[in-house]
Structure 1
């Protein structure tokens, strides 16, 4: 009675704890999309698509120059199922020209979506991993291979096979050792599903009784389906690979329905001893076992001798990489887990088999990792630092919607550990200054409003005197607002911040998305404020997006293991600053790169593109920052040391260079600032900062919020005629001197 209750309770209840699977963003292709052909091919290979001269099966493709023939896979997304399609894709000059569906009436498609790359999982405490599959979806050849080698009388016996037991006993007696087992598939399931691995007569007796009880209560198909999902087939580190669906990904890098006869035979052969017959470690042993399975399939009439001979000639076909995921994204997975915890219990995250569709771009992540490795090595060589001295954190987002495309928590991006992108709280230096200048613009300042860049002394609450200095240890007199920001003048910024009010600057920071408590001290105006790189990215996201606060998101949607939608993480947008104010600020941030502290980008970038950004440097050169954005990417880079000792790098000599290395690999397009209707351009005389007339030379067109530009015209006439007369006298004097020299 006890054994009967045990059999029914577990089989009727929740059979397995399933890990949550996290997927990268799916690659969407549509006419007009900018993408190079090699990137499409790279994505297909990441997904395990096979290059083939005949594209007749799901998961295959053929590339002919700028033309692709792709047989996509069926995949269930958060918004429904995407059927498999055979399509022809044309690329011209790095842009998708057309997509033709070759499998459904040869019509043209507006968009296709490839299945997403699996980037990681959150595992249960059992450390078991599996992908569930229904029996009706299991390839017949796999079932035939399994039954042939493990239990040829499966559909004839009632849980135990007396003939098989006697046959195994005689074989073992003749060999003088255990060379053959007599356990049925049902008995194997009972042993793995219910019992311990101890080898005693009592356990063997319980196994036989429970196998009979299992077959008494459940159908053969139900038992076989459970076995197909339960059987242990390998080990990846500390995670156990269970079930044939996951084993297919583990050994071949492809879904089960894309395998062929020789693959199925190998999987069925591994069942006897996943470690002993591991094809990655013991290929000869595994090959021999695979061929035994193929021979058994012939004996049982499932395949012909000709099919068997052809299958035996095939290689094992095992993928070279050593696991289910060829890449690891620990920093990004850390962010996903934290965002999931806002809506789900930890037990749900690790046991319910959720499918999480993330925002990660594997391509962007790869380019960021390469850029960081190149940049850090170069900085350490140039500074004569021991390799590994410097650390780095990078966050890359889409400035339009706040999607986190890539994230690196340290120089070794594939290792779990301290996630500097999310947890390294460091002073941000001059990265805070755009908030000061944005506050000033909101309060009526223009780009040419004069700011005093003179020494200043302030008595602090503890009685000490704070005397800020410019980085170049000099002062620059009265300068226009745009020059003060682009050249990052500290004295001008402090005077400006005190004039507009620290409270208003704090309000601006909060509106930009800074949630951390900041003390209201004058030193905060120069970045005596500590944040993580992720928090800085959130702040600059509101600037790069045109004044809209959009919470950074790493998750697009979550569905159940059955594909039912649980939650969509839509884009939340709130307008926090006027388009006009942000336009003026971003105009100044472009000037930072053109003429200010970010000007090294002009020769570091290998393409002539326009960028907006800001450098950041902290006291004693402990932290090097750069936040910059193009049309497609916003990226924040931090460089420093974990021991908080000086790294000897300014924002422009450190983080900016790594930012450039990353962008040279990503090849973005120039930032495009769309002029709001409330902005007008006015020619300004640079000498008087008044409206220029036709006599004003070197006049510059500055953007103004309508109604704020100077009304008074510059008196350039006197200066113009004075200069002209001076030039005439100089020319006349030159002619007279020439005549004297001649005669």
Structure 2
């Protein structure tokens, strides 16, 4: 019995010891787990402390580098503005306005009879804000006939549409975005985002265990689903590399917890809306919904409707895979999935779903071109002039807004005319397709603003910019400088002065040079203006040699040619190489009445706070006096009416009184035309990059492109207003001497006052000696104290005439023959 008791006692002790051991084991295990957890928490806390500055400093500081925005000119609407309905509708289309039956929202327009109804957008200009308005625009035969506010019926003096963004300039990266504040994010967008990407955004703390678990289960079931929250996606885009592994996912989760703990939900959502990647445009990354809205739809995000909003949100899953321009079917399917999510969540009705699912994608044509947009040649000029006109330190700040002179309507005419005409010329001349190239520049006469610029027959191609960098011989485009130099010596030359158009032989740089006319003919004694209108080479060389090559070079420099020029006689026929932009500067100086305004592409630059950035001053210089320029311009009008550019009169009204000059180089390598109306100076070059003959004269090549550009622009007539130093005198057409009622062939021509011919024409009873004296030059007038013609004196009487020295004129040469 005692043994049994002892046995039971031993058994109980063993059980107690076993329980004690088990208790010790679980206790030890608990202690170990607790210790490991504590260590893990400490490590996590340390890791969070390590990551904390990285997360908070960038989020609190400057989150994004914002590129400089480059804008076109703003289209101004006012009564009398030469804006057609076609031009305004094209502008609205470029700006992303939507055509509707009845405009109710900003950015919509409609045709109502002969007028347009437009809900314009507001815009902050350098000189103030332009408000949103409901415009009622009426058109007449010459432009806008009435402009009023539709709701109130009040007449409006002037309205500026917002300018078009034509490109961006990045300080140091290739990301782009339009920053939206929290209040600028439409509720439709934020609601759609949360429904599709993160339903529990306002409940979790940066990482959603429920969503993560659901994603794992769905993935195991074969339906792969992401579990990242919006906060995690933001972390991935703002802070981390695209690499996928557990280490990066852990870092992402920890940083998401930090971000959620430190910042408000609205700040996180706003940052996500601005940061997320939504596509690529050349070398420019499209980041954020603000920019994506403009890039895909040409409109601000505030104007997006349900189907377009759903499309953008759907693209988050794969911006390339669901790109609506490249993969419209996939994009439509993905958009409709988003709409289904909204329907299931009760955020839209069944009818809204059906309507949105049936809607077209609504994307605009691809802009292309990356940071230079669709206008790389003009953007090239903008960059160069920023370096020329502004201090570098002022251009390093983010968020600059650069307002330019670029006119999209004018550029559209340049682009549509160039390639179409070149294709026809290649076919006509049996040239290989695509071999002809072209460059064009359009500027304003009075202030030298560059309205349009093309450096390639494919203007969107960001390659060699021929408008700025192709230096080519300009041929007869140089001649107006020669004739202006002569007309500045009115005691010797006027429009009717006879020049010798005869052959001559010269030595140039150790070689014999024998110039000739294009028609290989001599034309004897010809009027100065006829020699220019017909582009007679021989008469021009005789004239230039008499004037002196250095004087002609000085005049070219005064007109804006900056390079050094060699004093060779061939210079007189255009053996000087200029770019189309340099030619445009030269002709702007003439078209403006003699005032050289440096060609400019930039009007104003504002910093991110809206303050103007100071620029180096641009000075306007007088290239010539108004009187001689007036005479030259009348002669250049004859180039169009009677000379080498008569073609223009077959396609454009004669009352436009256009002025211009053709240019052709040796072996028909280069074809040029430079001409102007009262509102446009346009220069066109056509040729081949390999410098082989194109087979085109200025009249058969560049002039045709010029006409195709200018015709749809409806230029204003070139109405010359003679300065006080000009008087009109009736002369005999045959001799250029004074005429009376006995003369049958007469014309009234302008002369600098006091420098009209003194002698009578033979038909008016004049003597042969009077004719010889006239051919010598020696028209009258007053000289100033320096011996130069007094252009400012309008009461010259001719009492102090300064004739040529005996024996040095055409008249003395003819007199010697008759004597």
TM-score, normalising length: structure 2: 0.82
Show CA shifts across 1:261-287 (max 9, x none). Answer: 333233223223323443445555544
Q: 1:114 to 1:684 in 2, by over 3 A?
A: same
What is the alpha-carbon distance in structure 1 between the residues aligned to residue 443 and residue 534 of structure 2? 26
1:565-618 Cα offsets, whole Å, 9 max, x none, are: 335799753333211111000011011122222223333547653211111111
Which region of structure 1 is more displaced relative to structure 2, 485-494 or 425-434? Answer: 485-494
State the Cα distance separating 1:299 from its structure 2 match: 6.1
Deviation at 1:665, TM superposition (A): 3.0
1:394 aligns with 2:440: yes
1:53 counterpart residue number: 101
Which of 481, 489, 495 does residue 542 from structure 2 map onto?
495
In the alignment, is the contact (CA less than 8 A) between 1:122 and 1:349 conserved in 2? Answer: no
Match of 1:378 in 2: 424
2:86 pairs with 1:38: yes
- Shift in CA distance, 276/533, structure 1 to aligned 2, threshold 3 Å: closer
Which deviations, in whole Å up to 9, do the C-alpha atoms of 1:650-688 show, x marking residues without a partner?
222222222222223333232111111211100112344
- Tell me the SS of whatever aligns to 1:341: helix
Q: Which of residues 76, 81, 101 in structure 1 aligns to 2:124?
A: 76
SS of the residue corresponding to residue 118 of structure 2 reads strand
- The alignment of Structure 1 onto Structure 2 pairs a total of residues equal to 715
Matched, 1:319 2:363: yes
SS of structure 1 residue aligned to 2:683: strand
1:308-366 residue CA offsets vs partner (Å, 9 max, x unmatched): 54554442533152346897222222212221222568898798333222222222112
Aligned-pair CA distance for 1:476: 2.4
The Cα shift of 1:234 comes to 2.1
Identify the match of residue 213 of structure 1 among 258, 265, 273: 258
Deviation, 1:558, is 2.0
> C-alpha offsets along residues 215-268 of structure 1, whole Å, 9 cap, x if unaligned?
333222222211111011223344322101112123322210001233323322
Q: 2:677 aligns with which of 623, 630, 636?
A: 630
Greater Rg by CA = 2
Q: What is the alpha-carbon distance in structure 2 between the residues aligned to residue 324 and residue 645 of structure 1?
A: 32
Q: Is the counterpart of residue 368 in structure 1 residue 414 in structure 2? A: yes
Return 259-268 or 696-705, whichever deviates more.
259-268
Alignment-derived partner of residue 243 in structure 2: 198
Distance 1:40 1:98 in 2: 14
Residues 1:344 and 1:6: Cα distance change in structure 2 (over 3 Å): farther
Q: Is the 2:179–2:290 contact (alpha carbons within 8 Å) kept by the matching residues of 1?
A: yes
Give the whole-Å Cα distance in 1 for the aligned partners of 2:672 and 2:518: 15
The whole-number CA distance in structure 1 between the counterparts of 2:553 and 2:127 is 41
Name which of 697, 701, 707 aligns with 1:654: 701
**Distance 1:314-1:570 versus aligned 2 partners, 3 A rule:** farther
Aligned match of 2:753: 706
Query: Offset at 1:692?
Result: 1.3
Contact 1:396 1:634 in 2 (8 A): yes
1:553-572 matches, within 5 Å, as: 553-561=600-608, 563-567=610-614, 572=619
Residue 87 of structure 1 aligns to a residue in which SS? Answer: strand
Q: Paired residue for 2:638?
A: 591
For 1:505, the equivalent position in structure 2 comes to 552
- Cα distance change, pair 281–522 in 1 and its aligned pair in 2 (3 A): closer
Report if the CA contact (8 A) 1:122-1:350 is conserved. no
| Cross-structure match for 2:288 | 243
Structure 2 counterpart of 1:122, from 169, 172, 187 = 169
CA distance in 2 between partners of 1:149 and 1:25 (Å): 40
Shift of 1:710: 1.9
In the superposition, relative to structure 1, how do residues 227 and 62 fare at CA in structure 2: closer, same or farther (>3 Å)? Answer: same
1:681 aligned to which of 716, 728, 735 = 728
Query: Is there any run of 5+ residues in structure 2 with no aligned partner, and where?
Result: 1-48, 768-819
C-alpha displacement of 1:30? 0.5
* CA deviation profile, 1:687-743 (whole Å, cap 9, x unmatched): 4432212212211111011111123333435699xxxxxxxxxxxxxxxxxxxxxxx
Of stretches 369-378 and 670-679 in structure 1, the one that deviates more from structure 2 is 369-378
Alignment partner of 1:566: what SS?
A: coil
Query: Residue 388 of structure 2: SS of its match in structure 1?
Result: coil
Which secondary structure state, in structure 2, belongs to the residue aligned with residue 519 of structure 1? Answer: coil
2:281/2:369 contact within 8 Å kept = no
SS of corresponding position for 1:671? coil
C-alpha distance in structure 1 between counterparts of 2:108 and 2:307, whole Å: 18
Aligned to 2:147: 99
- Contact 1:119–1:325 (CA under 8 A) maintained in structure 2: no
1:403 maps to 449
- 1:109-166 Cα offsets, whole Å, 9 max, x none, are 1111112222223346643221111111111111111122222222233222222222
Report the Cα distance in structure 2 between the residues aligned to 1:292 and 1:465, rounded to whole angstroms: 81
Moved more, 327-336 or 279-288: 279-288
The reply to whether residue 253 of structure 1 matches residue 289 of structure 2 is no
Give the counterpart of 2:228 among 156, 166, 183.
183
The counterpart of 1:420, out of the listed 458, 466, 483, is 466
Residue 26 of structure 1 contacts residue 117 of structure 1 at CA under 8 Å; is this kept in 2? yes
Q: Which position in structure 2 is the counterpart of 1:223? A: 268
Q: Determine if contact 1:490/1:526 at 8 Å carries over to the other structure.
A: yes
Equivalent residues of 1:25, 1:357 under 8 A apart: yes
* CA distance in 1 between partners of 2:571 and 2:325 (Å): 57
Q: 2: distance between equivalents of 1:141 and 1:190?
A: 24
2:743 & 2:654 partners in 1: Cα distance?
Answer: 34
Give 2:310's aligned residue.
265
TM-score with structure 1 setting the length: 0.90
Contact 1:295 1:308 survives alignment (8 Å): no
2-structure distance, mates of 1:577, 1:304: 71
Q: What is the CA-CA distance between 1:514 and the residue it aligns to?
A: 0.7
Is the 1:696–1:716 contact (alpha carbons within 8 Å) kept by the matching residues of 2?
Answer: yes
CA RMSD of aligned residues (A): 2.6
- Distance in 2 of aligned mates of 1:614 and 1:300: 70
Q: Counterparts of 1:596 and 1:292 in 2: how far apart (Å)? A: 68
1:262/1:413 Cα in 2 relative to 1: closer, same or farther (>3 Å)? closer
**What residue is the counterpart of 2:52 in the other structure?**
4
Matched residue, 1:731: none
The 10-residue stretch of structure 1 (532-541 or 631-640) with the greater mean CA deviation from structure 2: 631-640
| Cα offset, 1:451, TM superposition | 2.1
Whole-angstrom distance in 2 between the partners of 1:388 and 1:181: 50
Task: Give the 3 Å change call, closer, same or farther, for CA 389–446 of structure 1 in structure 2.
Answer: same
**Are the aligned partners of 1:24 and 1:117 in contact in 2 as well (CA < 8 Å)?**
yes
Q: Residue 404 of structure 2 aligns with which residue?
A: 358
Q: Which moved more, 1:311-320 or 1:107-116?
A: 311-320
Q: 2:479 aligns with which of 422, 433, 438?
A: 433
Which residues in structure 2 correspond to 1:128-147 (within 5 Å)? 128-147=175-194
The question of whether the paired residues in 2 share the 8 Å contact of 1:52 and 1:61 is answered with yes
When residues 42 and 460 of structure 1 are mapped into structure 2, their CA distance, relative to the original with a 3 A threshold, is closer
Aligned with 2:79: secondary structure?
A: coil
| Counterpart for residue 163 of structure 1 | 210
Contact 2:377 2:459 in 1 (8 A): yes
- The Cα of 1:437 is off from its aligned counterpart by 1.0
Q: Does 2:72 match 1:24? A: yes
Matching residue within 682, 687, 690 for 1:640: 687
